[in-house]
Structure 1
Amino acid sequence: MRQRGLTAIQAKSLSTQESLTLVAFSGLFALNIAMSNVSLAAVSIPLHQIMRSTCPVVTIAIYWLVYKRSYPRETYLSMVPLIVGVSIATAGDYYCTLSGFLLTATGVLLAAMKTIATNRLVGNFSPMEVLLYMSPLAAAQCVAYAFVTGEVHQVRMELAANTFRTLDWTFFLGLLINACMAFALNIVSFQTNKVAGALTISVCGNVKQALTIMLGVILFSVPMGPLNALGMLITVAGAAWFSKVELDNRKTRS
């Protein structure tokens, strides 16, 4: 007997529709990661973070356009401090090319689509099931992407020239730690998406940017000015406002 949840899982036979859905989702998942990395190299980091902070608004727009779902006025208003806060917290030099801007905008759209698709998918599968079926597909797609973009060829050239000097035990330890953190992050993210919803996950992404700055200050002594601190406070306040609105809506519906 198959147990659903995070403790035990057993593979099951998938229908053709379920298989195609998982293949499409794995492609969206891999493409979102690739687009985020490519766009990050094409624009300045502050501009990249500001554009990514609009992901909750894009999520709302997709829900309205595709599913005809609307939100209370307070929910729309709570988006303002979330975006403004991140903009202030990450204030810096802004530069980009037209292609970089378009890549970043596409990445924001893909991120919102992935969050919504995840929410729809975890309604039929547990988070562990999603990872079980999707991870091999996404990994194969990322390897294919690495071949197409020349990354695999570059690594092979460096290995042949003996200039690739990171293959020691610290490299593999870091790789293992990174893999474990990615696994835990995906499980928590999928489960939270299932319980709280896609829009809440997008809002948490904005809070993550503020917390990233805070961790940089604590762990790496990254300098932070009063303006950055103000932006972090505004972002957290916006998230708190959004949370209160969501809780009030849940109480009203129940």
Structure 2
Amino acid sequence: MQTLVETSTAPPLSPGDARGSRTGRITLNSSAMNSKKASKRADREGHLRLNRTYHREPYPSSPNADVNVLLVKPNVELSPLPSPNSQPVPSRSSMSYCQRINGSQTYWLCLYFCFNLGLTLYNKGVLVYFPFPYTLTAVHALFGSLGSSALARAGFFKPAQLTKSQRMVVTAFSVLYAINIVVSNVSLQLVTVPFHQVVRAVTPLFTIILSSLLLGTTSSRARIISLIPVVAGVGFATYGDYYYTKWGFFLTLLGAVLAALKTILTNVLQSPPASSGSSSPLAKHFNLRSSSPALPKLNPLAFLHLLSPLAFVQCIIFAQLSGELTRIRHYAGTEMSSGKLLAVAFNGCIAFGLNVVSFSANKKVGPLSMTVAANVKQVLTILLAVLIFNLTISTTNVLGILLTLLGGAWYARVEYTEKKRAKERRLRAI
């Protein structure tokens, strides 16, 4: 059934005529008037002006009608048909407060800063009253596994689908991942927070050394020079510090080495072979650079989703072998309270929150702002640790801490500048 919408400009011809100022429907019977006669009549009465023709389906029809003509008053203003693809665009004022906050770089930077600072100090506080570093690491891994699984179910990221060989690579890497966290927590239990932060600041130095030995890569002179104040600062900061033991110093230094190794292997496992032909004897022997990446490029949360369950199992095994689980059972029966249990659980929540915030903040604000925030966090961590844990540091220690922090900031700036120049060269080459 075809319906014609028309506007009449002629006066009514008769009282029963439907044209003019009255709206109505004229039914043209096909038996009395064929389509050719209807066309001639429309030509004769040229005062009829067609405004719009469209199909309206379904439309109730009379049994004898083929065409219905709808006459509309000339003063009726017809609105245009809406486009099926048009979507209403919300104004800025209609955006919710939460949406504006979510897009703020300052918000994510402050959130990352608070989580990073809070976890370091909170870990130290928990280990004072809950002296079980293997179990605490297992709690971190457990909350990482539960939290990442919840985010995957909510659609925040897609879990990785790995082959059998890739799963074996992830399992092997998870051992290093778990040991790195365990060593960090054990060393934090044995040394002061300022000492721990200062020694961990030499991680870039170990990254350069291990990259040269394992991958055959070379670092620029500017990057190496920027590490001189870092090394000197560590020497001054640890001079005369009677709060740490030799075993604590060794484990803290080992934690820095493991952190550097983890960073290198994470990059190697997800990167294609380097175009540079330089290689060291160790690099040729271990053949870390294969023809293709051992793992696909993974979202950091997807990587956490893979590693956390494995790290949890491994930490429980470490705790059992060290006798820590036996001590925990005794501790649970004599000293454990609901408050301490909630404190440990909250510590696991902060650890998982730092992973999520770190990933989101890195996308929002960029690597340079993240590095600056990390350096400011180190300064505040040291100052707050001195106040909270009633530590005494000498003038020499203060000088060493300042040298280390300034050297770390210098190194971060050099690294960022070199990466930016390398990216610009790649873009020009394209």
Report TM bin, short chain: 0.7 to 0.9
- In 2, Cα distance between equivalents of 1:45 and 1:246: 26
Q: 2:202 aligns with which of 54, 73, 77?
A: 54
Q: Which residue of 2 aligns with 1:82?
A: 230
* Residues 68-77 or 184-193, more deviating: 184-193
Please name the residue that 1:141 is paired with. Answer: 314
CA contact (8 A) 1:74 1:245 kept: yes
Deviates more, 1:138-147 or 1:241-250: 241-250
SS in 1 for 2:217: coil
Tell me how far apart the structure 1 counterparts of residues 259 and 268 of structure 2 sit (CA, whole Å). Answer: 14
Residue 116 of structure 1: which of 249, 264, 280 is its match?
264
Aligned partner of 2:404 in structure 1 is 235
Distance in structure 1 (CA, Å) of the matches to 2:383 and 2:195: 19
Opposite residue 135 of structure 1, the aligned amino acid is S
**Alignment partner, residue 221 of structure 2:** 73
TM-fit CA distance, 1:57: 1.4
In 2, the alpha carbon distance for the partners of 1:207 and 1:62 equals 27
Contact 1:78 1:242 survives alignment (8 Å): yes
Counterparts of 1:106 and 1:137 in 2: how far apart (Å)?
Answer: 22
User: Does 1:183 pair with 2:337?
Assistant: no
* Cα distance in structure 1, aligned partners of 2:252 and 2:416: 32
2:303 to 119, 125, 130: 130
| Structure 1 pair 75–188 and aligned structure 2 pair: CA distance change class (3 A) | farther
Alpha-carbon spacing, 1:33–1:112, altered in 2? closer, same or farther (3 Å): same
3-state secondary structure, aligned to 2:298: coil
* Alignment equivalent of 1:11, drawn from 154, 159, 181: 159
Farther-moved stretch of structure 1 (47-56 vs 30-39): 47-56
| Alignment-derived partner of residue 340 in structure 2 | 171
The structure with the greater share of residues assigned to strand is 2
Shifted more, 83-92 versus 171-180: the winner is 83-92
What is the CA deviation profile of residues 52-95 of structure 1, one whole-angstrom value per residue up to 9, with x for unaligned ones? 44322111111112222111101001111122223333441365
**CA 1:246–1:22: 2 relative to 1, 3 Å:** same
The superposition leaves residues 105-138 of structure 1 with CA deviations (integer Å, 9 ceiling, x where unpaired) of 5443322111222334566111110111111110
CA gap 1:186/1:42 in 2 versus in 1, 3 angstroms: same
217, 242, 246: which is aligned to 1:96?
A: 246
Q: Distance in 1 between matches of 2:395 and 2:249?
A: 28
Task: Kindly provide the amino acid, as one letter, of the partner of residue 146 in structure 1.
Answer: A
Give the secondary-structure state (helix, strand or coil) at the position aligned to 1:84.
helix
CA shift for structure 1 position 96: 2.2
Q: Report the alpha carbon displacement of residue 146 of structure 1 after superposing the two structures with TM.
A: 0.9
Partners of 1:68 and 1:182 lie apart in 2 by 34
The answer as to 2:393 corresponding to 1:214 is no
In 2, are the aligned partners of 1:43 and 1:96 still within 8 Å (CA)? no
Q: Which position in structure 1 is the counterpart of 2:14?
A: none
Larger radius of gyration: 2
Q: Which residue is 2:168 aligned to?
A: 20
Scaled by the length of structure 2, the TM-score of the pair is: 0.47
CA contact (8 A) 2:188 2:196 kept: yes
Aligned residue type for 1:10:
K
SS in 2 for 1:125: coil
Residue 156 to residue 241, structure 1, CA distance change in 2 (3 Å): closer
5+ residue gaps, structure 1, are none
In structure 1, what is the Cα distance between the partners aligned to 2:373 and 2:227?
A: 12
Aligned partners of 2:201 and 2:404 also within 8 Å = no
Moved more, 38-47 or 144-153: 38-47
Paired residues of 1:50 and 1:83 also in contact (CA < 8 A): no
Question: Deviation of residue 207 (structure 1)?
Answer: 7.1
Change in CA separation of 1:85 and 1:185 when aligned onto 2, cut-off 3 Å:
farther
Q: Distance in 2 between matches of 1:38 and 1:23?
A: 23
102-111 or 21-30: which moved more? 102-111
